[in-house]
Amino acid sequence: MEIYLYIALFAPLVGSLFSALFGASPKTKVTGIVASGLLFVSFVSSSILLSYVLGGHTVHVEMMTWMATGDLYIPFGFVVDQVSVVMMMVVTIVSTVVHVYSIGYMDHDKGFNRFFSYLSAFVFSMMVLVMSDNFLGLFIGWEGVGLCSWLLIGFWYHKESATWAANEAFIMNRIADLAMLVGIFMLYWNLGSLQYDVVFANITTLPVVVITWIGIFLFIGAMGKSAQFPLHTWLADAMEGPTPVSALIHAATMVTAGVYLVVRANPIYSEIPNMGLFIASLGAFVALFAASMALVNRDMKRIIAYSTLSQLGYMFVAAGLGAYWVALFHLMAHAFFKALLFLGAGNVMHAMHDELDPFKMGGLRKVMKGTFIMMTLASVALAGIYPFAGFFSKDLILEVAFVDHHYIIYSVLLFTAMLTAFYSFRLVALIFHGEERYKLFGIHPHEAYKFMLIAMAPLLVLAIIAGAFKGSYYQLVTSLLPSGEYHVHSIATYWIMTIGTQLLVLAAIAFAYKKYSSWSSVPDGTSALEQSFGYKLLANQYYIPWFYEEVFSKTYRKLSHCLWKEIDLKIVDAMVDGIAGVVYKTGEKTHKIQNGNLSDMLRWMVIGLVILMLFAVGFSVLAMFAQAQVEFVRIYIGELVLGIGLVLVAVSVLLVTYHAASIRKTGKGR
Amino acid sequence: MQEHILSILIFFPALAAMLGFVVHKDSAKAYGVTVAAIEFFLSLWLWKIYDPAGSGMQFQELAPLISQFGINYFVGVDGISLFIIILATFFTMVGIASLTETRRLKDLIITLLFLEMTMVGVFAALDAIIFYVFWELSLVPMLYIIGAWGGPLRIYASIKFFLYTFTGSLLMLVGMLFMAFLHYKHGGVWSFSILDWQAMNLPVNYQMWLFGAFFFGFAIKVPMFPFHTWLPYAHGQAPTIGSVILAAILLKMGTYAFVRFSLPMFPDASVLFMFPIAVLAIIMIVYTAMVAYAQEDIKQVVAYSSVSHMGVIILGIFALNVEGITGSIFLMIAHGVVSGALFLLVGVIYDRRHTKLMSEFGGLASVMPRYATIFGIMMMASVGMPLTINFVGEFLSLLGFYKQSHAFTLVAGTAIIVGAIYMLAAYKKMFFGTVTKEENKHLKDINRTELMGLIPLVILAIWLGVYPKPILEPIDKSVKELVVLMHEKARTVEAQKRIPDLTKSAQEVH
Amino acid sequence: MEITLTHYLVLSTILFVIGLIGIMRRKNLLLLFFATEILLNAVNIALAAISHYRGDYTGQMFAFFIIAIAASEVAVGLGLLIVWYKRTGRIDLDQMTSMRG
């Protein structure tokens, strides 16, 4: 089985390196096909591993030592167990689809080969992240996906906004990564190992305070990668990247790494339920917060990005409340339908010549039938209508909150579910229904390549039927994760809740359709709604990006500049130059002494001699008073007195001569 | 030959340099590359015959110079110095191979070979006087390189560099003389042997004074805040090769000396001064990173980033445990590779445009894709991406210091954030966006001579990031001996607590 | 009255001061040489006397050394002086300022 593990892991890397070989040469379809093929190989290996794991086995290999010093020992170790195999399946399925799709999507791009190199490198990093058997290995993947995300967001590097967003994403993730590193340091110094099995076996021996701190630091790391408040702004800006990237990285896989971390570290979080409650509360807050921003946005990709953010909030609610398997299940289901949604949006973008404002579209269902169906079904799944995937995973989270008596979280999530349905279908209605507003802009939309639609089909199927796997999935993961059936005890309550939720969601969909399906004009920012404070607040993302820019970025920039110009140059360096300057100036001032006159020089020599003798005498006297037992001072006391006398004579002689010299100079007499 | 390998390594380049005077101008470069390559392979051979299982100093050579005062020609290597020597010979080779200078090339190569002698000498010396002589001698070729081949402010920069570091080393010399005197007072004989000094057990107040004297010499060389201001000028004015050697090797002398002198000789003082030095290191990390962000000149960004990384090295050294010290020594090598490569890369663009201002560039990624790729890899190594060489060092250094202080490490850890900020900002300014300047539209991509220097560095940066074991192991072994010695010598309770007792923990395990 | 070490030393000191004044006041190069000789001999007296009273011959040895050195110094110095005189016709100190800094 190990060979399959290595194939699953390294096939994407091979694909990436292969594409990189063609990095500088003109576009060639080969790179795309080879990279996709290798990903399919990886997918097949993952499937084989899945069937193996389903049989109750796990695979654990240690490839080689990475770092070993002192007591620290970190290998490149990989583990395929019930949790990681689920992640592997998700990653390989979605990335295979996205790769094939990208062959069509990036068809006209000059950086075609480069793109596949980056994309496969990303998949490799993600596989390292999920398959590693220790925290530092996870960190390799963690940073690796960050790097690839930076490369891919800034893929169109000539665009200022893209490179800016790439840097923002990288730096914001780095802030969280620092916390994660600190968490890793704490684990190491407290437990002496970073291997999952050792850490999880011994975590209960630590005091609760320490576990809490570890939990907090690891979670901050997760917050960065999963774009939780307040580190969320990068995700929306990351939509500057090519759309397949958004589908793969910023919807299905990388952003869910934070959830994966919490799920993977469940023995730690199980020990600290208060921290879990905080995670759940933050998750619920983010779910609502992000959904509210999606309500009014006029950028198709950003709406879906906020939706992703909101769904990540749901996952954290489940993980925080201890329902780790539920979180992982929603992660999986969400990956399928959200990637589908993004790829659909990519088709629309292609058709609309990179136009992103849904108000400028409308009526596209006539020309883009396939995309229309797929995006609608994906939105239905996202809204959580029975029997689509979202129903099984998302409603389960609501139930978890309800069963655990967290009614506030429950109501927030229920309300967010309605908002989700509303903004999803607002988008669908604006794009595919109503008048063909795009004609105003002279665009002639066309459907995407057929193979792109076919490539999307597996995701569609999974988005529809993923819920059916719930039973076997539950069997699989609960052998590793804490099991817990979340059933509402009273059957009546259960049915009221389920049907009630469905009705509310349907009502929200109907409302969205009613309001937007016959939209005819392009809003220009003058309507009363757009002028209202609430709209502006939401459209400007609660002014948080503005706040970050004004408060953090500008301060940092100004402070840096000030540190350089004011402190480094004017204080630190000036001080050094000042000392040197004093030495130089003393030289300038005193060089007159060296007037070349032998007679004067001799006088200076005598003065120096006298000063030295004064020193000698002074020190002797000091020594004499300080320590009377110093032998030679007592013996030669006579000579000492003589010396003092000599010095006195010399000084008087000096004074006389100088006096005489000055008389001579003024009187010119000789 | 084996027993004299170190002397050969030290004096072969000097001899070759003298012979270089008679070599014809046109074949000077070939001659230089050949000599440097032989020297590099000799140093590789040293690694091969180095016994990783052996303890203490290997390949010791001892010849009396002034025996009344215990001054001997005494050299040897252990895991700590071995790889820095290899790094020095490697960079001299790469540096000469990728030289693009045309003015007085022969003189430059001869100077570089002399410099190589002094560098190897410093890291191999086991006698303080020999150490001091090579330490000071290394200033001369560097002064000459900056002063003769530098930019418009070269005289100011070279004199500042020389006087500043020279002043520091004088204090160090006083400390050395006093150490030898103490040895005489206790043991009746003069000795300048570093090994003898390491065995001395000094009272705490002596340790503190001596630590202080040595500290200034080392700190200026590193350079630690607030003694760092000579570095931006030196880098700003030095030719590419000067910056490469300066950043890759010469700065490491300071940090190496901390490990070789300060820690084993003054363990108690090291513990006492740990937190003040950590504060300085953190200022170095954060402050210089911010200053780097404000720079307009790409070479200054790299220069300040050097200071910032040296802060992490200092922090790792003063973690005083195996993880931290091993990490910092590894980071010395890593930083040598990465900053050397970055300076070479800056040299590439400077050769083409004769400017280093970032505002003059922009959009280079489309004009010079290969250059942008290599720069990108090195930049990512510099910001400590896992699986590159820097990460191993930075991770271990910070991990080590975490044992001593949680809060300090948290603040110092911002290195990975602020480092990313200035590097990404600089990369964006140079490579991203559209090409706006007409001169930039037809820049030639990196050529074969330049690739010859850069490709090995890229390979090294990734290879050692993925598989640091061959280097980490010998370092780890020597560092363990060092820590054991420090713990044995520690007098104060604080020091015994801070410096881990390896013998005890080893017993617990078995 | 017995002649003690102090007497010698006082003599030496007086001679030394005379030499010192000579060095500072004379402007003629030749007289400068005389003053230097007085200085050296003042020291010689001190050395010889101390050596005698301590019974240690090192001092007297040094005195011989100094005499020898003084002799050679005068030999070289006078040679230079003559050259200088031949060139310029004067041996005035104030005139020799080529070492102005």
Determine, yes or no, domain membership for C101.
no
Mean pLDDT confidence for A109-119: 89
Determine, yes or no, domain membership for C24.
yes
Determine, yes or no, domain membership for C97.
no
Q: Which two tokens stand for residue B482?
A: 């060092």
| Planar angle of CA B415, B328, B140, nearest 5 degrees | 100
pLDDT of the residue at B458: 93
A290: Cβ contacts below 8 Å, ≥ 6 apart: A232, A306, A307, A309, A310, A313
Identify the band that residue A640 occupies on the pLDDT scale cut at 50, 70 and 90. Answer: low
User: In this complex, which chains have at least 3 CB pairs below 8 Å with chain A?
Assistant: B, C
CB contacts of B409 in chain A (<8 Å) are 182, 185
Mean pLDDT confidence for A469-496: 82
In the predicted structure, residue A635 carries a pLDDT above the cut 70: no
pLDDT of the residue at A570: 87
Least Cα distance to A72 among A134, A13, A123, A142 occurs for A134
Task: Say how many domains are in chain C.
Answer: 1
Determine, yes or no, domain membership for C99.
no
Count of alpha carbons within 13 Å of B137, Cβ hemisphere only?
A: 20
Chains C and A touch (3+ CB pairs under 8 A): yes
Interface contact flag, A596 C13, Cβ < 8 Å: no
Interface contact flag, C98 A650, Cβ < 8 Å: no
CB contacts of A653 in chain C (<8 Å) are 17, 20-21, 24
Backbone angles phi, psi at B227, to 5 degrees: -100, 20
CB contacts of B293 in chain A (<8 Å) are 556-557, 560
Candidates C9, C24, C94; nearest CB to A642: C9
Backbone angles phi, psi at A286, to 5 degrees: -65, -35
Identify the band that residue A279 occupies on the pLDDT scale cut at 50, 70 and 90. Answer: very high
Cα dihedral value A69, A72, A73, A77, nearest 10: -130
B500: Cβ contacts below 8 Å, ≥ 6 apart: B320, B321, B322, B483, B487
Identify the band that residue A567 occupies on the pLDDT scale cut at 50, 70 and 90. Answer: confident
Distance CA B11, CA B116 (A): 9
Identify the band that residue A670 occupies on the pLDDT scale cut at 50, 70 and 90. Answer: very low
B20/chain A closest Cα distance in angstroms: 37
Interface contact flag, B160 A580, Cβ < 8 Å: yes
In the predicted structure, residue A55 carries a pLDDT above the cut 90: no
Percent of chain A with pLDDT over 70: 93
Asked if residues C47 and C59 have their Cβ atoms less than 8 Å apart, the reply is: yes
Q: What is the ipTM of this complex?
A: 0.91
User: In this complex, which chains have at least 3 CB pairs below 8 Å with chain C?
Assistant: A
Mean pLDDT confidence for A56-84: 89
- Global confidence as pTM: 0.88
Distance from the Cα of residue B409 to its chain's centroid:
22
Determine, yes or no, domain membership for C38.
yes
pLDDT of the residue at A669: 39
Out of A1-5, B219-223, C94-98, pick the least confident. C94-98
Identify the band that residue A277 occupies on the pLDDT scale cut at 50, 70 and 90. Answer: very high
Determine, yes or no, domain membership for C73.
yes
In the predicted structure, residue A397 carries a pLDDT above the cut 80: yes
Tens digit of pLDDT for each residue in A534-549? 888 888 888 888 888 8
| Bridge partners for A73 per DSSP | A68
User: Which CATH number characterizes residue C18's domain?
Assistant: 1.10.287.3510
Percent of chain A with pLDDT over 90: 36
Distance CA A461, CA A531 (A): 42
Determine, yes or no, domain membership for C71.
yes
Asked if residues B72 and B127 have their Cβ atoms less than 8 Å apart, the reply is: yes
Tens digit of pLDDT for each residue in C6-56? 889 889 989 988 888 888 888 888 888 889 899 999 999 999 998 998 888
Determine, yes or no, domain membership for C41.
yes
Mean pLDDT confidence for A91-101: 92
Candidates B294, B323, B467; nearest CB to A560: B294
Q: Which residues of A touch C (CB under 8 A)?
A: 591, 593-599, 602-603, 606, 638-639, 642, 645-646, 649-650, 653-654, 657, 660, 670
Task: For chain B, say whether A552 makes contact (Cβ under 8 Å).
Answer: no
Residue A557, sorted as left (phi over 0), alpha (psi -120 to 50) or beta, turns out to be alpha
pLDDT of the residue at B336: 93
Interface contact flag, C24 A594, Cβ < 8 Å: no
Q: Which two tokens stand for residue A356?
A: 């992103």
Count of alpha carbons within 13 Å of B497, Cβ hemisphere only?
A: 5
C56: Cβ contacts below 8 Å, ≥ 6 apart: none
Interface contact flag, A591 C9, Cβ < 8 Å: no
pLDDT of the residue at A217: 93
State the amino acid at position B243 in one-letter form: S
Tens digit of pLDDT for each residue in A311-324? 999 999 999 998 89
Distance CA B279, CA B281 (A): 5
Candidates A596, A638, A645; nearest CB to C100: A596
Domain containing C62 equals: 5-91
Backbone angles phi, psi at C26, to 5 degrees: -75, 145
Interface contact flag, A660 C97, Cβ < 8 Å: no
B299: Cβ contacts below 8 Å, ≥ 6 apart: B235, B236, B243, B343, B346, B350, B356
Dump the DSSP string for A243-299. HHHHHIIIIISGGGHHHHHHHHTHHHHHH-HHHHHHHHHHHHHHHHHHHHHHHH---
What is chain B's pLDDT, residue by residue, as a tens digit (510 residues)?
A: 778 899 999 999 999 999 989 988 888 889 999 999 999 999 999 999 998 888 888 899 999 988 888 899 999 999 899 999 999 999 999 999 888 877 888 999 999 999 999 999 999 999 999 999 999 999 999 999 998 898 888 888 988 888 888 888 888 999 999 999 999 888 888 889 999 899 888 888 889 999 999 999 999 998 888 888 899 999 989 999 999 999 999 999 999 999 999 999 999 999 999 999 999 999 999 999 999 999 999 999 999 999 999 999 999 999 999 999 999 999 999 999 999 999 999 999 998 888 888 888 888 888 888 899 999 999 999 998 999 999 999 999 999 999 998 899 999 999 899 999 999 999 999 999 888 888 888 888 888 888 888 999 999 999 999 999 999 999 999 999 999 999 988 888 888 888 888 877 655 544
Prior bond of B223 cis (ω within 30°) = yes
Out of A117-121, A657-661, B124-128, pick the least confident. A657-661
pLDDT of the residue at A661: 58
